[in-house]
Amino acid sequence: MAEIIRKHTGARMSQVVIHGDTIYLAGQVGTEGASVTQQTRDCLAAVDKLLAEAGSDKSHMLQATIWLADMADFAEMNAVWDAWVPEGAAPTRACGEAKLAAPGYTVEVIIVAAKA
């Protein structure tokens, strides 16, 4: 059975869990109160950092789940997402509206990726 590796683990959650060749990231949020564009950039920068630490990168993403506090922000978030995703390496993706952990959060990104 493959080992389970947890990184940046606290009492409630880990930011990264690696099982075999699969990497699971916790939901990443941006700077509370910042614009949707900036929060999306922050989320994706955190994803880049965590994937690199886990031995992967965005070209190995398998699945993305994106939560928006308001679906009216869909186009603004997508403008950042579309510029960030490597051509030909788009993961499966779902995006929905949800009440996020704090009122100042507008975007949360959850990623599953393969090791590079």
Nearest to 56 by CA among 9, 98, 89: 89
- Averaged pLDDT of the chain: 97
Task: Outline where DSSP puts E strands in 1-116.
Answer: 4-9, 14-19, 22-25, 28-29, 61-68, 92-97, 107-114
pLDDT in tens, 79-106: 999 999 999 999 999 999 999 999 999 9
In this structure, are strands 92-97 and 61-68 parallel, antiparallel, or unpaired?
parallel
Is residue 63 pLDDT above 90, yes or no?
yes
pLDDT at 2: 85
**pTM score over 0.85:** yes
pLDDT in tens, 4-17: 999 999 999 999 99
Domains, the chain: 4-114 (3.30.1330.40)
pLDDT band at 48 (very low <50, low <70, confident <90, very high): very high
User: What is the mean pLDDT of the segment spanning 30-40?
Assistant: 97
